[in-house]
Amino acid sequence: MRKLRNIFLILFALLFFTPKTFSANVWINDLKTLFASNNAIIYAINIRTFNAKDTNSDGIIDESAGEERGNFSNAIDRLDELVTYGINTVNLLPVTTTGKVKALGTAGSLYSTLNFNEINPQLKSSNIKSTAYNEMKKFVSECHRRNIRVIVDLPCCGSYDFYLKNPELFKTDKNNAPIIPADWTDVRLLDAGSESQINLDVYNLYAEFMDLMMSLDVDGIRASVPTIKPYSFWKKLIDEARGRNPEFLFLAEASPLWNKPISEYAVFTPYNKLLDAGFDGYYGSYFDLTNWKTSKDLISHVKFDIDLSKQYPTPKNVIGSFATHDQVSPILINGSQYSKMIVWLNATLPLNPYYVDGFPTGDNYIYFWGNKKAPKTFTDDDYYFVHRGQLDIFNFSRKPAGNHYDILQDFMIANKFKLMAQNPLSKGKFIPLKTSSPDIFAYARSYDKESVIVIGNLNFKKSQTTTVNVPKMNNALQSIPIKIVSIPHIQKGKIQTDLQPGEIQVLYFDSLELK
């Protein structure tokens, strides 16, 4: 009877627990500390689409027909929804002005930067007499009022029209032509200088961006492709920012798997040197989950990140980069089960959860008008350019959303479970557990007689029965099943359970401590 009562109480709390809002008049940034404890639950949004009003449901926003693109003003209307989801940090995809020449898409890529010190006027409401800057400042303030921190993306390159105005800021090849990095045809490579001598003119662009963000009370930045700038460039920028705001977070879009420069003309600063320069976090390699076939693949990645963090006097942590805006929707890979696995891995691994707008309801980011000719454009591109299966960052398009509400339920419970079970999930050790099948992973998070045990099936085609070896386990221990389909059988020294294809199970024990 007591066990059933405990199960009911914790599930009730997970469904209806909502963090308290922040009501003080003065916001005090604590994001660096929050991130260091792996308690930042991050939600990436494109303001241009976040709360867009697509009244005729054709997927494209036509303001001449009375529809409304996403903007800072209407984005505030969705912040309480994020609080309900358990989100405590938003990552704004780029908010600076975008290029219109040699552009991709009818609105221009968010990452094709025309100006580093101006807020994109596309993101202001046409119904309010205000500036984009003032609307963003109010948005940030409303986030803080709800105890939500704000990270803003810092783009790595300049748009072609920015190059035309300031060619001296850009790298050129032997023919004196600006460099197109990788296949990013709408941007050109800035010349950040070398390790021995950074380009102060380019540095000042980034310093102006930091001035702008701090004037808006932003809590941190996510640097897009920081590897193409020297260590000394970032060290100087981070040191100056930290002198003004010690809790300001620097997150690097860098990974151990990304070990080649995007251009032969670009410098390359690997992820570990970026951490040396002062970045607090990086991407790890969790986006590679689609290629992992065995438990060893997952466990070795987690151990790598833990060992790396120990090399620094201050914590260096990762985000759960399973499905960023650069990855194809999990729904298109292995359906809703794959999304649910990502949710619970984010919640229970030693990392900071990271999600993209539309993920909680399983948006597949398939736009039927994608890459077709557009009747109207705001750039010199008259096609609706998109990356199939990825969040649209090129056009004025619909609000991201799917219809997989089973994912949403798991999403809400997992985020709130992470906050409620902070002892094992923030302070606890990561303990790999042996299983009877190579494609079944299992691990525990344990601290002060509290333990969370996670078991998952990496085979998305086959159901499996497995035995998990758990020291100190016995059938007298009370478990609270947080996420299961079938009831695991607890025995002395082991757990036996059945797993559906791609299923993940989560068990909580309030009187078990593992070493």
CA nearest neighbour of 49 among 142, 151, 123: 123
> Which comes out higher in pLDDT, residue 7 or 91?
91
Scanning the structure block, which residue is given the tokens 């078990």?
A: 512
Query: Which residue ranges does the chain devote to CATH 3.20.20.80?
Result: 2-420
Distance in angstroms (rounded) separating the CA atoms of residues 463 and 501: 5
* pLDDT at residue 491 greater than cutoff 50: yes
Give the pLDDT mean for 338-355. Answer: 97
Which homologous superfamily does the CATH classification assign to the domain defined by 427-509? Golgi alpha-mannosidase II (2.60.40.1180)
Residues 52, 74: Cα–Cα separation, whole Å: 8
pLDDT given for residue 10 in this prediction: 57
pLDDT in tens, 211-252: 999 999 999 999 999 999 999 999 999 999 999 999 999 999
Q: Within a 10 A sphere around the Cβ of 318, how many other Cβ atoms? A: 28
Question: Residue holding tokens 């557990």?
Answer: 433
What is the average per-residue pLDDT within 310-325?
A: 93
- The Cα–Cα gap between 363 and 418 comes to 24
Instruction: Give the CB-side neighbour count of residue 489, counting CA atoms within 13 A.
Output: 7
Structure letter (DSSP) for residue 171: -
Q: Is the dihedral of CA 295, 298, 301, 304 positive or negative?
A: negative
Residue 423's closest CA among 38, 117, 24, 16? Answer: 38
Task: Tell me how crowded residue 463 is: count the other CB atoms within 10 A of its CB.
Answer: 13
Global pTM?
A: 0.95
Enter the tokens of residue 291: 């290629």
pLDDT tens digit sequence for 93-110: 999 999 999 999 999 999
Question: CATH 2.60.40.1180 region(s) of the chain?
Answer: 427-509
Q: How far apart are CA 320 and CA 288, in angstroms?
A: 11
The amino acid at residue 161 is D
Q: How many CB atoms lie within 10 A of CB 406?
A: 14
pLDDT tens per residue, range 380-392: 999 999 999 999 9
Q: Quote the pLDDT of residue 284.
A: 87
Mean pLDDT computed over 336-355: 97
* 96 close to 119: Cβ distance less than 8 angstroms: yes
Residue 33 in tokens:
């500390």
Residue 131, token pair as written in the block: 């500036």
Q: Which CATH class is domain 2-420?
A: alpha beta
Q: Which residue has the higher pLDDT, 387 or 264?
A: 387
